[in-house]
């Protein structure tokens, strides 16, 4: 069973461009979470999605950021008009359910650098 996959692993964008980060959850997992990690800091929750639904986007900036988890295909975190402050590692996690004992399985992350 393949783990959580994220691509690209590294992404370089110039200010004003768009960044698209993809996450394929583990097989059988229908819950996806996105986190952002700035250098030397902890993980900050961004958004929690279930297939075709955004459950909680309270950690996501209101502008320029969006996320989706379509019925088919990977989850996408989209950042429009990137700025230097968006440079960070973005991690995706998936889980099979929502019970308190469910664990999250993390991908290797996408490291975004905005020039």
Partner 1 sequence: DAKTTQPNSMESNEEEPVHLPCNHSTISGTDYIHWYRQLPSQGPEYVIHGLTSNVNNRMASLAIAEDRKSSTLILHRATLRDAAVYYCLLNSGGYQKVTFGTGTKLQVIP
Rule CB under 8 A: which residues touch partner 1?
A: 4, 33, 35, 41-45, 48, 55-56, 58-59, 91, 93, 98-109
Closest distance to partner 1 from the beta carbon of 15 (Å): 25
The vertex-91 CA angle with 11 and 69, nearest 5°, equals 95
Closest distance to partner 1 from the beta carbon of 9 (Å): 10
Closest distance to partner 1 from the beta carbon of 97 (Å): 9
Strand order in the sheet with 65-68: 5-7, 19-24, 75-79, 65-68
In 2-115 the beta strands, taken as DSSP E runs, fall at: 5-7, 10-13, 19-24, 31-37, 43-50, 53-56, 65-68, 75-79, 88-95, 105-106, 110-114
- 17 vs 59, which CB is nearer to partner 1? 59
- 18 vs 56, which CB is nearer to partner 1? 56
- 18 vs 102, which CB is nearer to partner 1? 102
Closest distance to partner 1 from the beta carbon of 43 (Å): 4
- 87 vs 105, which CB is nearer to partner 1? 105
Q: Helix (H, G, I), strand (E, B), or coil: what is residue 85?
A: helix
């Amino acid at each position: 069973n393949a783990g959580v996959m994220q691509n690209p692993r590294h992404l370089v964008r110039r200010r004003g461009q768009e960044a698209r980060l993809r996450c394929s959850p583990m097989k059988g997992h229908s819950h996806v979470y996105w986190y952002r990690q700035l250098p030397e800091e902890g993980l900050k929750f961004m958004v929690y999605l279930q297939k075709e639904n955004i459950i909680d986007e309270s950690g996501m900036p209101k502008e320029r950021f969006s996320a989706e988890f379509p019925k088919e295909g990977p989850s996408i975190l989209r950042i429009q008009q990137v700025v230097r402050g968006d440079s960070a590692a973005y991690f995706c996690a998936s889980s099979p359910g929502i019970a308190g004992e469910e664990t999250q399985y993390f991908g290797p992350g996408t490291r975004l650098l905005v020039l």
